[in-house]
Structure formats: structure tokens, C-alpha cells
A and B are shown apart, each in its own frame.
Chain A
Amino acid sequence: MLPLKIESLAVSFPGLATPVLAIDNLAIAAGSRIALTGGSGSGKSTLINIIAGLERIRTGRVVWGEQNLADLSEGRRDRWRAANIGLVMQDFHLFPGLSALDNILLPARLSRVASADVIKRAHMLLDTVGLKRPEQHVETMSRGEMQRVAIARAILRRPGVIIADEPTASLDLESGAAVGDLLLSVASYAGSTLIIATHDQRLVERLDRRLLLKGGRITGDTDHKEIAA
């Protein structure tokens, strides 16, 4: 469970006169559940990349707990992300040819932290996300099942933060709802801070707070009561 504080963040790309993302001040409480919304090109993905430590921060501060990501080298950022962030992407990014269990364990194995306890937890998580066949190859699964595997992978190392980028966008309504339920329940169970970039209004309504992005700036910040209203 980690709080986030962003100060004077600006992300610019060469050739563009104005920053694609500019946030003067943003605070997210530890354990809160945030929806990031906004149209295409609003800066949602850029913000996801920045807070997940996927992009280098050149201007401003992005502080998770006590750690300012701007101070970390690329290698250290990778290590920090592996230990603290659980990522769930729209396209799952599972690896064909590997089983569900192997997909869940792959990042941990590559980081040489796949201990017996971690492997045991992977089996348990498969059960948690409702998958009964750990050895089933992911290319033989439905899209909903694939996203469940991706969620299990994201929470394997008990991250303090779960970040999901359009997790339901490529799923049918039923699967999308189930994945939404799953994300909320695992985040709640682990006490992780949950940030979801989504267009899925039903999912947004179930989150505590909504940040609306437009032109790279936060133009709306509403809490659950206001969303419900």
C-alpha cells in the first residue's frame, strides 16, 4: 500500500511546443482506488507510464511512499517497479508457448525471486482468479481467462500498487465485469493502491475517485459520492 505524490511534472516530446502531460500537484492516498479517464490523446497512457516507472522523468517529482522515481536510474527503476507495481494491460502481454502458471511466474523467475513460496502463491492465485488448469497454455484460453492470468501475474509479488491500463476494453461485457470485480477484490484484499485507466463507465462508478485528463492536464477530480450522483 503506497501513497502517490506528484509535483511539477512535465512530459514533453521533441518537436511538440507544449508538454503532453503537465501536472502541478496530485496526491493519491495509500490504498485508494482511482479511475483515470479522458479521451484518446488526453495523456492517460503517458501518466500510467510515468507513475509505473516505465518512462524517465525529466521534469518534476513522482513520489511513491518515500521513493522519488525521478531519482532512479533505468535499472533501479526496473527493480523498483518489479517489487512495487503490478501492471495489467489491455493486451494482456502473455507469452504464447507457456502455461498459465509459467506466465504468472515468468517475471519472478527472470528476476530470480521465484522461491518455493512464490511458486506456491502462484498456484493459489490461479485459484483466486478462478482458473483450474495451471498447465493450460495461454493461447488456448479465452480473452477473459487471459486477463485473469495477467491479473494473477500482476499481484504475484504483493505489489503496493496495481496499475491497469484499459483492462476491460478488449473483453465482452460479462468478462469485463468479472475482471473488474477481480481487480477490486484483489486490491482490496492486499490493501494495494489501485489506479485504472478506463473508458468503462460501469467500472469507473465502482472506484473511489475519478481523475479526468484532457490535453495532458487534470481537468476533473471527483470522488465516489459525486460520481454516483
Chain B
Amino acid sequence: MIGFILADLRRLWLGGAVVILLVALATALGVAVTLQERSLRLGSARAADKFDLVIGAAGSETQLILSSIFLQPAPLPLVDGAVLSKLAADPRVAWAAPVGFGDSFAGYPIVGTTTSLVSSTTSGFTEGKMFALEGEALLGAAVNLPLGAEIKPMHGTAETGGNTHASPAYKVVGKLQPTGTPWDRAILVPIQAVWHVHGLGEEHGHHDEGEHHEGEAGQAEPVAQISASQGRKYALALGAASSRHVEEEHHGSVDPDAPIVETFGAGTPGLPAILVKPKTIADAYRLRQEYRTGSTLGVFPGEVLTGLYATLGDAKMVLSAVAAGSQGLVAAALVLVTVIHVGQRRRQIGALRAFGAPRGSVFLIVWLELFVLVALGVGIGFLLGLGAAHIGSQVFTAKSGVILPVGFTREDLRLALILLGFAAVLAAVPALLAYRQSPATALRA
């Protein structure tokens, strides 16, 4: 029987190939949507995994997470530096690290932070060492620069018309192991250096900055409300939109040989975000609650991502409906084509029975022929969908640094079984027609 089916499929290879292609494309569409959406959820969740609590100034929760964890360049309101001092001294906090951004180099965002954040969120260095001086920088795993390279920070990005700071360049002293997060694409420098580049904070970490922070305690107004005298504070979290304005007021400088100081006193400048590692889950909830009042905003990345996933889920539903629609159309077309095909092969099918083939064999031949084609299409469709999702993920990773894990799960196996079950029922339609066909009538046709 298999030989007969193979001979038949060889003879009708072109039609068979078209059936396989149609089924494969319709399947691939649905599989790619499912895999891509799932990988986006997993990848983003993993990217946020190491950051338990983010505290910023009152404003958009989503933007706070997108900017601080996914390093999306966008203006953020600043939270008062005193908040960082308070958090650093809080016994419920394992570590609290400031992040300052807004600058870039060669398309890579420059993020100012502390050694405690680097140590706690990465798994070590592939080469080099931790920054110890104000003029030193670390590279994320995906930054294509060598050790010892010089980095001249640019405010904003080249694409958005940013301009290069006049201050001395950073020197790359270490490269981190991959984390699978957008931070792999970041250049990490001491937060102290970022402040000094923008003319903020204590001189070399020791001198009172005085005028830069007078009257700032407890303030965290949205960017649009920051007065001109507070313009430098704005620079830390700024996109390129206001770079010219900021540059006018830049007068800070970096002393590349100054040791970094990571004790944050009362004079700490404003910050776009503070990443906090609470000691316990209970502490995390308490801290989030405490810092959700007034001028600060405490956010669990997970809760923001959950909201984003709901939106993603809606998009997936629409795309899945489109995919299901296309699969339905293909199925209907296949039923039509095979019923016509069986009609055209009435003589052959009738002859099989006339010469002694049992009805069951005739049913099985017609059923197997179509089922094999559809099953092949489903299998190829799954591979095509996987390939498409991989390509999509690689493009996304190249742009964002977020590694999207693409792979099949048991859910996909269930989908494959459902599709094959559907194929089995679909193939039974023409097979039943062949089964019911009278051999005498078929031979006369």
C-alpha cells in the first residue's frame, strides 16, 4: 500500500507540493506568532529578573521600567538624591544603586551606576576588571569595543542629533559576561562620572557641590516642570530633544584618575531611577508601598510587564485569529481540491475495488495520501515558524539586547496534535467519498 501511495504521490508531485506549501505557510504563520509572543514575554521577564524594585520620581510606571531596565532612551523626571541616601541606609535594603543615563557612544547607551549593582546583576567579567576610577568604563557583553578603548560620551544619540561632551574620554577596563538583558549593550561608568560630566554632584566625589543642589531636596517634578536653574539635573535622563539646552549649561568635568566614591550623602544629585534589592519579599512590598507616595514611585518591574503582556496578549489574539482564518481557508480549499480530485480519480478508485482491493484499503489509501501531505505541511510549517521566530528574535536582540528565547514547549506539541487531528478528519472527507463509491459506477465513469 505504501508503495502505491508513494508512486501516486510521485506522479502527482506538483499538486502534492502545492498542498504541502499551502499547509506549511498557514501553519508557520500561527506558529511564528505564538513562538514570538512567548519569547518576548520570557525574554523581557528574564531581562527584568534581577531588578526587584525600581524607584523613580512620580510619573509613568511603564516609562520608568522601560528606561531603567530596558534602557530605552526617553526623558524621565528625576528623583531627589536624598532618596538614594535614605535607601542606602535602610536596613531592609540589601543594596540600592543609582542609574544615570542619557549619554551614548557609538550607538551604545552609557549608564552611570555603582560597583554594587554591577557585582549583583552580572556573573563576572570575560576580561578586565571592575571600574575603580572616575574615568574608567565597563562594557556589556554585546558592546563591540576592545579593552582599553576610549569612549567619548555623546549627549543623547547620534541619530537624534546629540553632541559630544568636551570632557575627557572614559577608558575601557573590563568586559562583562553576557546577561541576556539590554544591559549587554550598555557601557557602564561610575555614576559619579556621569554627574561630573553634567556638572552635578560633589567635585570628584568629595566636595560639596553647593549651588547645584540647593533647594532640590524632596523634589521630583516631571521634566517639563523643571526650572531653568535645575536644567543640569535634567541632563541625566534626557533624550536628545533638549540636548542643546543642556549643553549650554554644561560646565562639569571628569577627573579620570579620581577614585570612585559610592557613599551617597545629603548632596547627592537627582537621579532618573534607583534600582533596589530588598532583603526579603515582605521588605520589597513595604518599600514599594512607602515609595509610592508623593514625589516618588516604587515599581516592581513584574507588575509593569504584566500590564504590557496584557497588551501583547491582545495583539497575539488578533494575529492568531488572522492565522487561524488563513488555516481555515487553506483547509476549506484542500477539502474542495481533494473532493474534486477524488471525483476525477473515480475510475482508478473503482478499479482498485473491482480488482479485489477491500473498501477499507481504498479508504486508507485516499486518507493516507492526503494526511501525509498535510502532516508534512504541518511539520514543515512548524520548522518555518521556528525559523521565522528565530530571525525575528535575532533582529530584536540586535536592536535591544534582550535575548528572546525561542523554542517549542508542550503547548506547541498540543497544537501540533490538534492540527494533525484536524488533518485526520479533513482527509477522511475524500476518503469516505472513495469508500462509498460503487466500483461499477466508477468504472463506467
Contact = CB atoms under 8 A, between A and B. Distances in A.
Interface string B1-36: 101100110110000000000000000000000000
Given A78-B356, A106-B4, A107-B356, A97 B361 contact: no
B351 interface: yes
Given A75-B359, A109-B1, A111-B361, A52 B7 contact: no
Given A87-B354, A108-B356, A93 B347 contact: yes
A142 to B, nearest CB: 20
B358 interface: yes
Contacts of A54: 354, 438-440, 443
Q: Which of B8, B355, B359 gathers most chain A CB within 10 Å? A: B355
A107 B352 contact: yes
B392 to A, nearest CB: 42
A54 B352 CA distance: 12
A89 interface: yes
A209 interface: no
Contacts of A81: 354, 356
B409 to A, nearest CB: 41
Contacts of B361: 110-111
B106 interface: no
A110 B354 CA distance: 12
A49 interface: yes
Contacts of A208: none
A44 to B, nearest CB: 12
A157 to B, nearest CB: 8
Contacts of A83: 356
Interface string A33-72: 0000000000001000100101100000000000000000
B11 A110 contact: no
Contacts of B444: 45
Contacts of B11: 96-97
B358 A78 contact: yes
A93 B355 contact: yes
Nearest to A84: B356
B250 interface: no
A102 B356 contact: no
Given A89-B443, A106-B4, A79 B354 contact: no
Contact of A110 (B348, B356, B440, B443): B356
B359 A74 contact: yes
Contacts of B3: 98, 102, 109
B332 interface: no
A206 B356 CA distance: 29
Nearest to B9: A97
Interface string B274-313: 0000000000000000000000000000000000000000
B233 interface: no
Contact of A107 (B8, B355, B440): B355
A163 B436 CA distance: 24
A153 interface: yes
B10 to A, nearest CB: 6
A28 interface: no
Nearest to A92: B351
B191 to A, nearest CB: 75
A82 B443 contact: no
A88 to B, nearest CB: 10
B438 A110 contact: no
A91 B439 CA distance: 15
Contacts of B357: 78, 82, 106-107, 110-111
Given A54-B439, A55-B440, A110-B352, A97 B358 contact: no
B353 interface: yes
A64 B359 CA distance: 22
A153 B355 contact: yes
A87 B358 contact: no
A45 B353 CA distance: 17
Given A45-B444, A54-B440, A98 B355 contact: no
A98 B7 contact: yes
A74 to B, nearest CB: 7
Contacts of A55: 438, 440
Contacts of A109: 1, 3-4
A110 B347 contact: no
A49 B356 CA distance: 14
A49 B439 CA distance: 9
Interface in B333-376: 347-348, 351-359, 361, 365
A35 B439 CA distance: 23
A87 B1 contact: no
Contacts of B4: 95, 98, 102, 106, 109-110
Contact of B358 (A75, A89, A93, A157): A75
22 contacts: A54-B443, A75-B358, A75-B359, A78-B353, A78-B359, A87-B354, A87-B355, A89-B351, A93-B351, A95-B348, A98-B4, A98-B7, A102-B7, A106-B4, A106-B357, A107-B352, A109-B4, A110-B1, A110-B4, A110-B365, A111-B356, A153-B355
Interchain residue pairs A-B with the least CB separation, the first 6:
A82-B356, A97-B7, A93-B351, A107-B356, A110-B357, A54-B440
Given A78-B356, A93-B347, 6 more contacts: A54-B443, A78-B353, A95-B4, A95-B348, A106-B357, A109-B1
